[in-house]
Amino acid sequence: MDIIINFLQKIAPILLAHGIVGIIAFCVRLYMQGEKFRKQTDETGKVVIVTGGNTGLGKETVIELARRGATVYMACRNIEKGDRARKEIVKETGNPNVFSRECDLSSLDSIRKFVEDFKKEQRELHVLINNAGVFWEPRRLTKEGFEMHLGVNHMGHFLLTNLLLDVLERSAPSRVVVVASKAHERGQIQKEDINSKVFYDEGVAYCQSKLANILFTRELAKRLKGTGVTVNALNPGIADTEIARNMIFFQTKFAQTILRPLLWSVMKTPKNGAQTTLYAALDPDLEKVSGQYFSDCKLASVAPAALDDQMASWLWAKSEKWAEITI
């Protein structure tokens, strides 16, 4: 008995310390979940496209839109994963008007095909959510030769949005929602090496693409003034999704057993990470708000580089040329 008592006396401080740490981590996690979009809206009859809608923040966004009665098109790179996600969402929400369509944002041809097929099925589009993205990719090129972060996060959505503008304008009031990131604050548009041919760093390339998202948002908002189509960007926060799957470090045993549990306390769940997207897409108070940036379901400021109108105009002209469009 004495042995047991002595053992318990020795481990009691350790258990107490672990318990305190656990409570602190839990409280931090609750705080880090951010604001929620709590307004109840009826989206019956509304048509929405969500890129990357089969996983992570995109899937949570589709689930909530479907619950509210919207007709939702998931634009997915992998159609098999998209179809599986669609079945799960339909079963969970009871809304059969959820569709999975192939749209590889690293291929401009795939984007054009997606839009062509969508326009055959629908005459209206009330919300376009540019959610899909890549993060920390080793240097690879899209089908057309764009650096992958720039090609998917910016160019793919640039073309998709422009090809859908006629439907968005016909359906006004309508919205374009761009999922950007706080990482834009560390971004710079490398005019002389925007495709990262001379120098490549995964983080630098990602931050550049997120800055491009906000420059695109602000420029498009100016061009659509008076049309009834609004364009806003947002920061979803750090969410526990698959987006970091390409970071080799996070695949190590150390990261999985030590670092991931530590990061758990500061990461949003995918559902909570989708709240600002839903706010920007659905809040009635934002019907006429355009060219803005939101974080945690409220207006937020952007980095000075994101306010550079000349750079936004330059990037738009370059993107039009690369996408071979004039709108």
Residues with a catalytic annotation lie at 206
Tokens of 169: 């304008």
Say which DSSP state 187 is in: -
Q: How many helices (H) and strands (E) does the chain have?
A: 12, 8
Question: What SS3 class is residue 66?
Answer: helix
* Bridge partners, 229 (sequence order): 174
Residues with Cβ within 8 Å of 225's Cβ and at least 6 positions away in sequence, in order, are 290
Do 47 and 283 touch, CB atoms closer than 8 A? Answer: no
Distances 69 to 55, 90, 171, 280 between C-alpha atoms, Å: 20, 11, 17, 17
Question: 42: number of CA atoms within 13 Å, CB side?
Answer: 2
* Bridge partners, 75 (sequence order): 51, 101
Count of Cβ atoms closer than 10 Å to residue 53 Cβ: 33
Residue 47: its H or E element = strand 47-51
